[in-house]
Amino acid sequence: MFNDFDFDVIWRTLPYLFKEGMSFTLTLTAMATVGAVFFGTLLAMMRLSRFRWLSMAAGTYVNLMRSLPLLLVIFWFYFLVPYIGAWIIGSSTPIQVGAFWSSVITFTMFEAAFFCEIMRAGIQSIPRGQADAAYALGLSYWQAMGSVILPQAFRNMIPVLLTQTIVLFQDTSLVYVLSITDFLGAASKVAQRDGRLVEMYVFAAVVYFVICFAASRLVKVLQRRVAIVR
């Protein structure tokens, strides 16, 4: 099989694969991570709230998202978000969201459920005395969370947050089903055009492996550094 392996098709398409494909994958990963961490932190605070209805609402959302296949959620957001947006603004026609923003919304809302559980564990890892001390100094709940609890929780959870980001990077390849030119989509287009499926899919697998393996090693180094700080 590898006697006919064409390395030239890989070299010729490298600019397209990384400029068009990988740049989109990294952009989607970065935007979804930032959004998911933000909404995940809010969900975590809701789950830890003393208001039962708020905690139940956040818990229901988290359990729902974690129980659904990501591919199903991608299709659900892609086809329903335009109608939901039209209903919110009172329009009679579906709003034009587009595949890119549909994918950003999908990954942000889906991954927020996982980041929520990570941040909830991080918040609960902070001794209760930290919050009591903040309240004794006259800080409000939000001031205590923003200045005392969350900074420590983020530091404790950085390795886990980065690990989940690696998983998110891998999952972005699923936007291929929406005909978006991510890295895997770009490789697939070249494979179909030139009839070189083996070369392109093997190369795509190698690239994903190298990036994810290198990132996981960096996470382990960071985890040791955080442990030393503690």
Q: Which two tokens stand for residue 228?
A: 């030393």
Q: How many CA atoms lie within 13 A of 60 on its CB side?
A: 6
Cβ atoms within 10 Å of 22's Cβ, excluding its own: 17
Q: Tell me the CA distances in angstroms from 140 to 38, 50, 133, 151, one per residue in order.
A: 20, 15, 11, 16
pLDDT at position 25 is: 93
Reference 185, options 21, 48, 33, 29; nearest CA is 21
Q: Which domains does the chain have, with CATH numbers?
A: 2-229 (1.10.3720.10)
pLDDT at position 147 is: 82
Residue for token pair 């503690």: 230
Q: How many CA atoms lie within 13 A of 184 on its CB side?
A: 14
The model carries a pTM of 0.86
pLDDT at position 215 is: 93
**pLDDT means per 10 residues in the chain (230 residues)?**
71 88 93 94 88 91 92 86 79 79 90 93 84 82 82 86 93 87 89 83 92 92 67
| 122 Cβ neighbours under 8 A, 6+ residues apart | 44, 153, 154, 156, 157, 160
Residue for token pair 């978006």: 180
pLDDT at position 227 is: 58
Cα radius of gyration (the chain): 21
**Residue type at 207 in one-letter notation:** V
Q: Which two tokens stand for residue 131?
A: 């919050």
pLDDT at position 88 is: 79
pLDDT at position 1 is: 53
Reference 206, options 10, 2, 69; nearest CA is 10
Distance CA 206, CA 203 (A): 5
